[in-house]
Structure 1
Amino acid sequence: MFAALYVAHSVGDHWVQTSAQSAAKGRPGWVGRLAGARHVATLTATKLVVLLPAAVLLGLHLSVWGLFAGLGVDAVTHWWADRRTTLAWLATRTGKAEFYSLGTGAHPAHPVTGEGKPAAHLGTGAYALDQSFHHLWLLVAALLITLL
């Protein structure tokens, strides 16, 4: 179940999520909350589309309660982290604020071009912490789905 959730998470977070959802989900107020909710709805649907056939193929007998609990916990924690200020707060509280800013102009050692402008790079600390947070909750979801 974890492998299926992991693949579905990657597809839902990167291919299914729209650019508008990605751009707006961290905005303050209802605009950001609703964009995040739309993203989590499509993400959760993607996970169901992957999980159910995987369960059938593997001969797993999953309960509705287990699916509801696992996907519910995953959805709530995903929405929380994707509000961005919440994950930034957690990074600060856990001593990861500098890593969170890695790959951005806010990081003290950000890469620059020969002209001193921010240089292109792959990924950011914020993205790495975001995905790591999601992976932790994917494991919790997989356990709930298979154990309940």
Structure 2
Amino acid sequence: MTPEQIETAIAFGAVAPTLYAAHAVGDHWVQSHTSACAKGTAGAAGHRACLTHVLTYLATCLVAVLAVTAALGILDTLTATGVVVGLVVNGLTHYVVDRRKPLVFLARLTGHGGWIDSGDPEAAYKLDQSWHLGWLLVSAVLTVTL
């Protein structure tokens, strides 16, 4: 491995779990009850609630990534482009599924409609969270490689 590859691997090893932790905090503790209830509703109010949630969520992710990489002395391995692109991908994919109808559409498209329609109260939540976590992995890679 080259020194640059080692540096990237170390940064990924810091950024990926940081985004995972920030996701949990931003998606559950930072999100307001109002946003949680309204973000999937139709119309401007639903879009506004979802946007508010995603912006506070992304702020949580940004602060966490900057704080952890600074504390570890590896902040300089990140570029502004990588951080911005990672956050944009994270935010856009988060927004789309949190509008709820796209989550149901994707579940049905991939053969999980029966689970969504089964009445299992955790089905939508688990699909939502696994979607977010998959995109967090992509976001972490983009953050450290761009």
TM-score (normalizing by structure 2):
0.86
Q: Are 1:101 and 1:126, in contact at CA under 8 Å, matched by a contact in 2?
A: no
Residue identity in the other structure for 1:70: G
Residue identity in the other structure for 1:71: L
Q: Give the corresponding residue for 2:114.
A: 98
Q: How does 1:1-148 map to 2 (within 5 A)?
A: 1-60=15-74, 61-102=77-118, 104=119, 124-148=122-146
Query: How far apart, CA to CA, are the structure 1 residues paired with 2:44 and 2:70?
Result: 39
Aligned-residue offset at 1:67: 0.5
Q: Are 1:91 and 1:100, in contact at CA under 8 Å, matched by a contact in 2?
A: yes
Where in structure 1 do 4 or more consecutive aligned residues deviate above 3 Å? none
| Structure 2 unpaired stretches of 5+ | 1-14
Residue identity in the other structure for 1:136: G
Query: How far apart, CA to CA, are the structure 2 residues paired with 1:40 and 1:26?
Result: 12
Could you list the per-position Cα deviations for residues 63-88 of structure 1 after superposition, in whole angstroms to 9, with x for gaps in the alignment?
00000000000000000000000010
Percent identity between the two aligned chains: 43
Query: How far apart, CA to CA, are the structure 2 residues paired with 1:141 and 1:58?
Result: 20
Query: How far apart, CA to CA, are the structure 2 residues paired with 1:51 and 1:101?
Result: 37
Is the partner of 1:70 in helix, strand or coil?
Answer: helix
Aligned-residue offset at 1:100: 2.1
Higher helix share: 2
- Bigger shift: residues 66-75 or 92-101: 92-101
TM-score (normalizing by structure 1):
0.84
